[in-house]
Amino acid sequence: MNASMEIDTIRPPAARPAPDALLSLAGVAKTYGSTRAAQAIDLDVATGEVVGLVGANGAGKSTLMRIVCGVTEPDTGTMAFGGRPVDLVAFSPRAARDAGIRIVWQELSLSPNLSVAENFYVEQPQFARLSPLWLADYHRLARDSIERIFPGARIPTSRLVADLTLAERQMVEIARAASDPRLKLLILDEPTSSLGAERSAQLRQFVREQAGKGVAVVFISHKLAEVLDISDRVVAMRNGRLVWQKPAGETSIGDLVEAMGGAEAGDRSTRPALDAAKAGRPVRVRLSGDLVSTGGPIELRAGEIVGLAGLEGSGQRNLLQRLFAKPRPGEVERDGEVRYVSGDRQGEGVFPLWSVLENIGIGRVARLAALTPVKAADQRPLAASLAKRLALDESRFDAGILDLSGGNQQKVLVARALTDEAEIILLDDPTRGVDIAAKRDFYRLVRETAAAGRLVIWHSTEDLEFLECDRVLVFARGEIVAELGGDAISEDRIVAASFQQPAAGRTAQAAKRAGAIGPFLLRAIPFLSLILVFAAMSWMNPLVASSFGIELLLAPAVTLVLIALAQMFVVGGSEIDLGIGSFTGLVNVISATLLVTSPLLGFAALLAGLAGYCLIAVLIHARAIPAIVVTLGASFIWAGFGQTLQPSPGGSSPQWLTALFTWSIPGIPTPLALILIAAAAAFLIDRSPAGTVLRAFGSSPLALKRGGWSPLRYGVMRYAIACLFAMAAGLYVTAANNASDINAGGSFTLLGIAAVVIGGCQLLGGFIAPLGVVAGAVTLSLIGALLASLGVSTNYNAAVQGALLIVILGLQAALVARGRRHG
């Protein structure tokens, strides 16, 4: 099926022996399923050389660079670096880093929940000192590195990356990679996609300086003028092969476009110009208002192929999504049914568990009433007729969808969109990573579809594909800034229009700043509510504010503080532990029974509990099982052990344990001191180097893995920390109550989660705040006391706590959604 056509083209010069080559690849190939992402690649990069690497999307540039960085292991081929052969099996991201290979990823790999300085640490841990002030070095490193490359950027290094603009993030990303003193090879993958002209010029200046110092640079970009400006030599890739290379001085943008594979698209001569308006075809889509800055509304008619062009992320996808949503009067109006074909096949196209036939059939089934009978066989005739038109092999209908090549998967998605007679077909960059043969089939199919009277709206990131269109709408900063038709469609014009600045470009920026109040409010909630609740209680009963009153009130809060902190570290990894409450109960039982009668056995049991927690972490990470279900199962194991050890409440606290929690400093209530100690411990762990990495895993596990950090080791560390906090909670309960009750622990699970949420943490994304969690936990346990003093039955406690949790989470969701809309 995947008869990828052999392209006769200028072959790259055979790998010549290059004694001064820093990086040398020979015969490198990598296949994913039936997609050949890289094949027979020979490439040398010399010390101090700047190589421009160009190619269409999916040409294999990123795969090749992943191989060089040790992220992807090639199927065949050899690699040498610095004159020494590299063992590609043992080659890892960390080994690449140690060798001096650094990459700036196209999809930015910063952790949004870390500050700029902390992001520098995650990338360059070797400078960390053993000191509470270790991060100061990284503030300096970050500031210096950013200013060295981008003078005047002035990015505050203590700010969270999530609060930076896209351009600022890109600058941080570049500076972070380039700050490595061991740097020998710097790979920049689309480094200027979000940068303005001035910053881009600064970066190129920096690249030239580095090259002068002997650093080799690979510069990957779609901005061909920049590539020609910066490179010594330009290399073009197409369909996983290196097809062309030349010194930058001897070539032009036109050459590059041709080398990248432009010639395949745009077979315009065979296509008669179509004047849909004159043909009197019905209007299917009408665009107007602020969206259109070309003057007057734009009407799209049946039978047209309309391209959506512009720099990536300028509003093309947004328009497709608005067209796909329910039609309503406004800027974007449509008349007729729509179908959507995405080029992100893995993310929003295929259903991986299903066969090809099922993947096609769902297009019709999606619109049937719920109880309509559906049989697989019913789909076959219709799918078969579609398959014929799409040049899709009918004999593979029963194969799993993932067994097909990218191009064939895309055909399946198109077939799905064509199963019924929808009037409008939306294409979202459908040929991404598709081989040439499949692309040609695809272009033919689009023409046929339009000829059959449908309106095709086609967003592409490959400008050459617009030559297939009747009309092209060019986007810039979310607006349509140009409309090209017929012979006026050319790559030059599209590119020129893409860089136009619509007048209203600034408003988005201003709105973003206004939205920043949300996160601040979230962080302040726990402290404000703590003050509020405490004030209310002292107003009702002045004794509360006395040292004795505080001692009495805070004693029950200590447990919840410890449990909430334990849960917080798990939430920091975007997971949740449903077993923490029961585990606390188990530790309570062990310490009130075994630890009294036979201390040795007691300690062994506690250690076994810790080992159990670590085992859970291993299972979750090694087998990719959801933490909820595993910890739910574990909660029953903990409770079961506790039940077996001591079926009904009882036991007593070992004397040393009581002593451990009942010392006192004159003037400070003991529970307050304990809470402060717990808060300090959690804060220090969270802000330590290891805690920073733990948080980073919560938001960007893939980037961390690429950076050479072990997910398993940190997963185990995360659960071990949580376990130790929960253990402290269990021991405290024993000391405070001088007894144990296995059933008392369970309810703490929900309370702990509630405290974490009230404390300003987000359940996903690794945003955690130790001090907020402590305040949240204290507030929650005070609310219990407050309700009691108001005469509310304790029966209501659970409901109040559950409702509070829901309200705060809802508030959080609303604020985050607002922030996202503005950002």
Q: What's 130's DSSP letter? A: S
Q: Which of 371, 503, 510, 600 binds other proteins (CB under 8 A)?
A: 371
What is the closest distance, in whole angstroms, from the C-beta atom of residue 249 to other proteins in the complex? 44
Residue 359, class by beta-carbon neighbours within 10 Å (0-12 exposed, 13-18 middle, 19+ buried)? buried
Q: Which of 29, 40, 391, 619 binds other proteins (CB under 8 A)?
A: 619
Residue 251: name the closest of 230, 234, 263, 238 by CA.
Answer: 234
Other beta carbons within 10 angstroms of residue 387's beta carbon come to 22
With contacts defined by CB under 8 A, name the span among 157-165, 352-360, 596-604, 683-691 that binds other proteins.
352-360
Q: What's 62's DSSP letter? A: H
* Rounded Cα–Cα distance for residues 524 and 522 (Å): 5
Q: What's 355's DSSP letter? A: B
Q: Give all strands of the β-sheet with 76-81 in edge-to-edge order.
A: 35-46, 21-32, 76-81, 84-86
**Which residues are registered as beta bridge partners of 244?**
236
475 lies in the site for other proteins, by CB under 8 A: no
719 lies in the site for other proteins, by CB under 8 A: no
Q: Which of 29, 391, 637, 739 binds other proteins (CB under 8 A)?
A: 637
Give the x/- contact pattern for other proteins in 72-111, rule: CB under 8 A.
Answer: ----------------------------------------
Q: Which of 516, 531, 629, 659 binds other proteins (CB under 8 A)?
A: 629
Q: Write the single-letter amino acid at 200.
A: S
With contacts defined by CB under 8 A, name the span among 508-516, 551-559, 638-646, 666-674 that binds other proteins.
638-646
- Return the residues of window 567-606 that contact other proteins according to CB under 8 A: 576, 578
Measured between alpha carbons, how far is residue 405 from residues 34, 346, 413 in Å? 5, 12, 13
- Return the residues of window 744-763 that contact other proteins according to CB under 8 A: 749-750, 753-754, 757, 763
* Rounded Cα–Cα distance for residues 388 and 704 (Å): 45
Give the x/- contact pattern for other proteins in 327-346, rule: CB under 8 A.
Answer: ------------xx-x---x
Q: Which of 213, 278, 375, 821 binds other proteins (CB under 8 A)?
A: 375
What is the closest distance, in whole angstroms, from the C-beta atom of residue 495 to other proteins in the complex? 29
Bridge pairing between strands 338-342 and 471-476:
unpaired
DSSP string, 659-690: HHHH--BTTB-HHHHHHHHHHHHHHHHHHSHH
- The token pair at 707 is 């950076």
What is the closest distance, in whole angstroms, from the C-beta atom of residue 638 to other proteins in the complex? 8
Q: Which of 165, 501, 598, 644 binds other proteins (CB under 8 A)?
A: 644
791 lies in the site for other proteins, by CB under 8 A: no
Q: Which lies closer to other proteins via its Cβ, residue 136 or residue 806? A: 806
Q: Which lies closer to other proteins via its Cβ, residue 352 or residue 486? A: 352
Determine contact, residues 51/211, Cβ cutoff 8 Å: no
With contacts defined by CB under 8 A, name the span among 21-29, 248-256, 624-632, 673-681 that binds other proteins.
624-632
Give the x/- contact pattern for other proteins in 249-278, rule: CB under 8 A.
Answer: ------------------------------
540 lies in the site for other proteins, by CB under 8 A: no
Total residues binding other proteins (CB under 8 A): 78
What is the closest distance, in whole angstroms, from the C-beta atom of residue 475 to other proteins in the complex? 20
* Rounded Cα–Cα distance for residues 462 and 432 (Å): 9
Q: Which lies closer to other proteins via its Cβ, residue 552 or residue 804? A: 804
Q: Write the single-letter amino acid at 577.
A: D
Q: Which lies closer to other proteins via its Cβ, residue 351 or residue 499? A: 351
796 lies in the site for other proteins, by CB under 8 A: yes
795 lies in the site for other proteins, by CB under 8 A: yes
* Rounded Cα–Cα distance for residues 410 and 390 (Å): 10
What is the closest distance, in whole angstroms, from the C-beta atom of residue 791 to other proteins in the complex? 15
Determine contact, residues 584/729, Cβ cutoff 8 Å: yes
- Return the residues of window 2-61 that contact other proteins according to CB under 8 A: none
**Which residues are registered as beta bridge partners of 457?**
306, 426
- The token pair at 641 is 């052990």
702 lies in the site for other proteins, by CB under 8 A: no
User: Which residues, in sequence order, are CB contacts of 728 under 8 Å at separation 6+?
Assistant: 562, 678
